[in-house]
C-alpha cells in the first residue's frame, strides 16, 4: 500500500492491518473527525447558526440519562429533524434585546 492510498482503505483492510501501520491505525479516528465536522457544519447551516453538534450530543446525553436506547435509526432521525431558520445570529440578538428592553 502506498502512502497516498491509506485514505481509501476499506474497513476490512483497516481491521487486518491495524497494528502493522500507524497510518492505518489512525484512519478510523480521522474519518470520524471528518464525519462530525461535516455534521456540525450541516447543522449550523440548516439552523442559521442556531444549532451545532454540541446540541445534538447534549440531546443524546439526555436520552441516555432517561435510559432511552439510541440506535442508528434514532441518530438518523435526530439528523433529519427540521431546523428552523430564524435569521442571522445578530438579527436574533437584536430581537431579543428589543423584547427585553420593552
Closest by Cα among 30, 56, 28, 24 to 42: 56
CA-CA-CA-CA torsion for 92, 36, 41, 22, nearest 10 degrees? 140
Using the predicted structure, report yes or no on whether residue 102 has a pLDDT greater than 90.
no
The answer to whether 56 touches 18, Cβ cutoff 8 Å, is no
Q: So where are the chain's domains? A: 3-101
How confident is the prediction for the chain on average, in pLDDT?
Answer: 78
pTM of the complete model: 0.63
Closest by Cα among 3, 38, 35, 36 to 21: 3
* pLDDT (tens digit per residue) in 31-79: 999 999 999 999 999 989 999 999 999 999 999 899 888 899 998 988 8
Distance CA 17, CA 6 (A): 11
Amino acid at each position: 500500500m502506498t502512502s497516498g492510498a491509506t485514505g481509501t482503505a476499506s474497513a476490512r483492510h483497516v481491521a487486518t492491518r491495524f497494528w502493522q501501520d500507524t497510518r492505518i491505525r489512525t484512519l478510523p479516528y480521522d474519518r470520524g473527525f471528518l464525519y462530525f465536522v461535516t455534521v456540525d457544519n450541516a447543522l449550523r447551516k440548516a439552523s442559521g447558526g442556531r444549532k451545532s453538534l454540541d446540541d445534538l450530543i447534549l440531546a443524546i446525553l439526555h436520552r441516555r440519562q432517561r435510559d432511552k436506547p439510541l440506535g442508528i435509526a434514532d441518530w438518523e432521525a435526530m439528523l433529519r429533524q427540521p431546523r428552523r431558520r430564524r435569521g442571522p445570529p445578530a438579527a436574533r440578538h437584536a430581537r431579543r434585546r428589543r423584547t427585553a428592553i420593552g
